[in-house]
Amino acid sequence: MAIASAAAAAAAAACRPHLAGAFLLAIFFAGAATAASISGAESSCQRDNSVVKDISQMPQGSYGLEGLSHVTLAGALAHGMKEVEVWLQTFGPGQRTPIHRHSCEEVFVVLKGKGTLLLGSSSLKYPGQPQEIPVFQNSTFTIPVNDPHQVWNSDEHEDLQVIVVISRPPIKVFFYDDWNMPHTAAKLQFPIFWDEECLPSPKDEL
């Protein structure tokens, strides 16, 4: 991939011979990209396309979110999924996702524990006071497209473990600071934390 992008960069520079400096710069960045992809090989993004994968051997991390364990079971960037992506997530006692929304469908299956789904409104200008909906082991719930929400392990003792299925990966999430933040002010997070190490190197503009 790095070689392809170096070639593309060279081709781009060749189209604009007056940009000799840009060409050198492109070579420099191609070198940097190569270094990044070498370190990427040791990152948590393993492009493993075997049919059956042992979940306990798959990359797992908290990706900067306290009390979270995330595994991408089947992902767009890691495994080439086109229509859906599936995660296994475990939240420690008291942990919550950020308040967020996305324009894809999302289905949860609660494998273990219990918690609270906080669901805001997409029809007001801001999420507003969320509904508090209890979720429990062996329950399933879906998040309406674009509804701001937060999953909270409201139990003080046990982990909450869920399977999450999203459509249209890779996910583009908008984060809210609080339930009164206008939808238009929510901040885009793309790629989502666990996709960062799996992103292909940026394409050169031609």
Going 122 to 127 to 132 to 134, the CA torsion angle's sign is positive
79 is in an annotated binding site: no
| 117 neighbors 96 (Cβ within 8 angstroms) | no
Closest CA to 3 of 31, 45, 43: 31
Q: Which residues contact 54 (CB under 8 A, 6 or more apart)?
A: none
Phi, psi for 191 (deg, rounded to 5): -75, 160
183 is in an annotated binding site: no
Phi, psi for 59 (deg, rounded to 5): -60, 135
106 is in an annotated binding site: yes
Can you tell me the distance from the alpha carbon of 23 to that of 186, in angstroms, rounded to the nearest whole number? 38
Can you tell me the distance from the alpha carbon of 59 to that of 87, in angstroms, rounded to the nearest whole number? 11
How many CB atoms lie under 10 A from the CB of residue 155? Answer: 17
Output the known binding site for Zn(2+): 100, 102, 106, 149
Output the known binding site: 100, 102, 106, 149
